[in-house]
Amino acid sequence: MFAFLGRLVRRHPWYVILGWIVVTVVVVATAPKLAATSDQSEFLPSHYESIKAAKLQQDAFPQQTTPGAILVFDRKDGGKLTSADQADVQKIVTSLGSDLPKVFKGAAAQPASQNKLVQIGVIGMAEGKNAYDKPSMDAVKDLRKDAKPLVADTNLRLGFTGPAPQALDSQEASANAEAIVGIATFALILLLLSLIFRSVIIAVLPLIVIGLVSQVAVGLVGFANELFDLKTDSSIQVILIVVLFGIGTDYILFFLFRYRERLRDGEDSKAAVEHAVERAGEAIASAGGAVIVSFMALVLSSLGIFKSIGPALAIAVFVTVLAALTLFPAIVSLLGTRVFWPSKSWKVEPEAARFAAVGQSLGRHPVRYALASGGVLAILTVFAFGFNPTFDLGDSGAPSDVESSVALKTLQKGLPAGATDPTQVFLSSDDGAPLDQAELATFAQDLGKADGVAQVAPGVPNTKGDTALFNVVLSQDPTSDASLAAVKGPIRTTAHDSAPDGTTALVGGTTSVFVDFQKAMNRDYAVVFPVAAIVIFLILALVLRSLVAPLYLMASVGLGFGATLGAAVLLFQHIKGEDGLIFLLPIYIYLFVVALGTDYNILMITRLREESREGETPRNAAAEALKHAGPTVAAAGVILAGTFASLMLGGNALLVAMGFSISFGIFVSAFVMAMFFTPSLTALLGHTAWWPGHSDEKAPTELTDMPEEAAVH
> Where residue 87 sits, what CATH number does that domain have?
3.30.70.1320
Tell me which of 477, 509, 541 is where a domain ends. Answer: 509
**Does one domain contain both 180 and 274?**
yes
Residue 403 lies in a domain: no
- 17 to 11, 211, 251, 366: CA distances (angstroms): 12, 14, 18, 45
- 102 to 94, 144, 404: CA distances (angstroms): 16, 16, 21
- List, in sequence order, the alpha helices (H) in 130-268: 134-151, 163-197, 200-228, 236-264
Query: Phi/psi class of residue 375: alpha, beta or left (left: φ > 0; alpha: ψ in -120 to 50)?
Result: alpha
Tell me which of 161, 178, 202 is where a domain ends. Answer: 161
Domains identified in the chain, total number = 3
**Does one domain contain both 244 and 388?**
yes
Residue 297 lies in a domain: yes
Nearest to 454 by CA among 422, 429, 481: 422
Tell me if residue 244 falls in helix, strand or coil: helix
Residue 39 lies in a domain: no
pLDDT score of 565: 94
**Does one domain contain both 597 and 620?**
yes
**Does one domain contain both 107 and 154?**
yes
Asked if residues 599 and 291 have their Cβ atoms less than 8 Å apart, the reply is: yes
Measured distance CA(596)–CA(573) in Å, rounded: 26
Asked if residues 427 and 440 have their Cβ atoms less than 8 Å apart, the reply is: yes
**Does one domain contain both 191 and 306?**
yes
**Does one domain contain both 555 and 654?**
yes
pLDDT digits (tens, 9 = 90+) for 325-382: 999 999 999 999 999 988 887 777 665 468 888 989 999 999 999 999 999 999 999 9
pLDDT digits (tens, 9 = 90+) for 599-613: 888 888 888 988 888
Residue 402 lies in a domain: no
Count CA atoms within 13 Å of residue 702 on its CB side: 2
Tell me the residue length of the chain.
713
Asked if residues 349 and 630 have their Cβ atoms less than 8 Å apart, the reply is: no
- CB 351: neighbour CB atoms within 10 A? 6
Q: Which residue range(s) make up the domain with 498?
A: 411-509
Asked if residues 680 and 694 have their Cβ atoms less than 8 Å apart, the reply is: no
pLDDT score of 392: 60
Q: What is the CATH number of the domain that holds 246?
A: 1.20.1640.10
Asked if residues 515 and 298 have their Cβ atoms less than 8 Å apart, the reply is: no
Tell me which of 456, 478, 509 is where a domain ends. Answer: 509
**Does one domain contain both 357 and 316?**
yes
Measured distance CA(178)–CA(34) in Å, rounded: 14
Measured distance CA(66)–CA(422) in Å, rounded: 9
Nearest to 119 by CA among 108, 134, 105: 108
Residue 55 lies in a domain: no
Measured distance CA(597)–CA(599) in Å, rounded: 5
Measured distance CA(257)–CA(371) in Å, rounded: 30
Cross-strand pairs, 428: 467, 504
Asked if residues 683 and 624 have their Cβ atoms less than 8 Å apart, the reply is: no
Measured distance CA(237)–CA(231) in Å, rounded: 13
Measured distance CA(140)–CA(143) in Å, rounded: 5
**Does one domain contain both 125 and 182?**
no
Measured distance CA(388)–CA(409) in Å, rounded: 25
**Does one domain contain both 643 and 677?**
yes
* Phi and psi torsions of 389, nearest 5°: -75, 140
Measured distance CA(255)–CA(78) in Å, rounded: 63
Measured distance CA(402)–CA(400) in Å, rounded: 6
Measured distance CA(343)–CA(327) in Å, rounded: 23
- 125 to 63, 497, 526: CA distances (angstroms): 10, 31, 38
Measured distance CA(121)–CA(72) in Å, rounded: 7
Name the residue type at position 143. L
- 595 to 11, 237, 292, 323, 441: CA distances (angstroms): 33, 20, 8, 19, 56
pLDDT score of 238: 67
Measured CA angle at 363 (ends 361, 366), to 5 deg: 90
**Does one domain contain both 653 and 556?**
yes
Burial degree of 555 (CB within 10 A; 0-12, 13-18, 19+): middle
**Alpha carbon 495 to its chain's center:** 35
**Does one domain contain both 494 and 561?**
no
Residue 204 lies in a domain: yes
Measured distance CA(199)–CA(193) in Å, rounded: 8
Residue 59 lies in a domain: no
Asked if residues 526 and 403 have their Cβ atoms less than 8 Å apart, the reply is: no
Measured distance CA(613)–CA(102) in Å, rounded: 71
**Does one domain contain both 140 and 251?**
no
Residue 475 lies in a domain: yes
Identify the segments of the chain with pLDDT beneath 50. Answer: 352, 394, 701-713
Q: What is the CATH number of the domain that holds 424?
A: 3.30.70.60
Q: 70-91 in b/e burial notation, b at 16+ Cβ within 10 A? A: bbbbbbeeeeebeeebbebbee
Nearest to 383 by CA among 588, 557, 563: 563
Measured distance CA(632)–CA(163) in Å, rounded: 47
Measured distance CA(710)–CA(702) in Å, rounded: 12
